[in-house]
Amino acid sequence: MLRGFYTAASGMIAQQRQQEALSNNIANANTPGYKADQAALRAFPEMLLQEIGTKKIPTSRGLSLPLQNPVGSLNTGVYVQETIPGFIQGDMRETGITTDLALVNGVMPDEAGSLFFTVQNEAGDVRYTRNGNFTVDGAGFLVTNQGYYVLDEEGDAIQTNGMEFQVSRDGVLQLEGEDIALGIAYTENANELVKEGDDLFSGDAGAVPDDAAYTIQQGFLEQSNVDAMQSMTQMMESYRMFETNQRVLRAYDESLGKAVSEIGRLG
């Protein structure tokens, strides 16, 4: 019976964590470039049950042999192994603002490959983002809304000296007297990146392959890929599963209470 307590409780905890991931998705439904998280549920390691007994041998000595019969496997609970962001590209929304940039995937050499803007976080480390909602700070540098520098292909901050500049479709900022190429990073497996706050990802990403096609759309933003209706449906399903495990836990508690109060008194 105590095993049932742990199984039902693990189901409640797993559904609670899934609710948290779905709630975060819905809260970021309007965040440019946001990639929705999906909780991956996994059962606890299986236990193989066996019936252990003896078999008597009809001999004068009455010998018996140990006997083991496989009963089957048993899982004792479930847990959220990890939350995995989906890197499907979001829809494009026109803003008309020169500092808004949308990274549009083209023909990629690998179906799982993904492209990102490169930025520098407050610690000076390189991070990656799909959120092109940029602006220009007081010193004239192109930055994210959190104040992180947007980097060029050499890994340097981009000095624009104002908001009046043009960006070509291949990602080159056309400034007075010079052209600066945006730093675009590529990774074959985006799931190896670690999701951080402020729409940033950390991990290993390299240069864009020569056979990868992409475009930069100035005055556009990539919307989040959150499907609000689907997320709400999943939240309701998760809530119903939480309630089901809660009822199971309550039933075990009532049975245990009877075992202690009634059966114990009869004894």
pTM for this entry: 0.77
Cα–Cα distance measured from residue 79 to residue 23, given in angstroms and rounded to the nearest whole number: 18
Q: Residue 256: in which H helix or E strand, if any?
A: helix 228-258
- C-alpha 9, offset from chain centre: 24
Q: What is the DSSP string of 1-54?
A: -HHHHHHHHHHHHHHHHHHHHHHHHHHTTTSTT---EEEEEEEPPPEEEEEEEE
Buried b (16+ CB within 10 A) or exposed e, 90-122: beeeebeebbbbbbebeebeeeebbbbbbbbbe
Distance, CA of 226 to CA of 235 (rounded, Å):
13
Nearest to 129 by CA among 150, 112, 110: 150
pLDDT at 1: 52
pLDDT given at position 185: 93
Q: What is the mean pLDDT of each run of 10 residues along the chain (267 residues)?
A: 76 91 93 91 73 72 73 76 87 94 73 85 93 93 94 93 88 88 90 88 87 88 93 92 89 78 61
Residue identified by tokens 């909780």 is 39
DSSP secondary structure string, 207-255? PPPTT--EEEEETEEEPP---HHHHHHHHHHHHHHHHHHHHHHHHHHHH
**CB-CB neighbours of 209 under 10 Å:** 13
Does residue 77 contact residue 7 with C-beta atoms inside 8 Å? yes
**What dihedral do alpha carbons 107, 108, 114, 115 form, nearest 10°?**
-60
The pair of structure tokens assigned to 82 is 């990890």
Q: How far apart are CA 178 and CA 61, in angstroms?
A: 101
Q: What is the pLDDT of residue 48?
A: 67
CA torsion, ordered 90, 95, 97, 98, to nearest 10 deg: 50
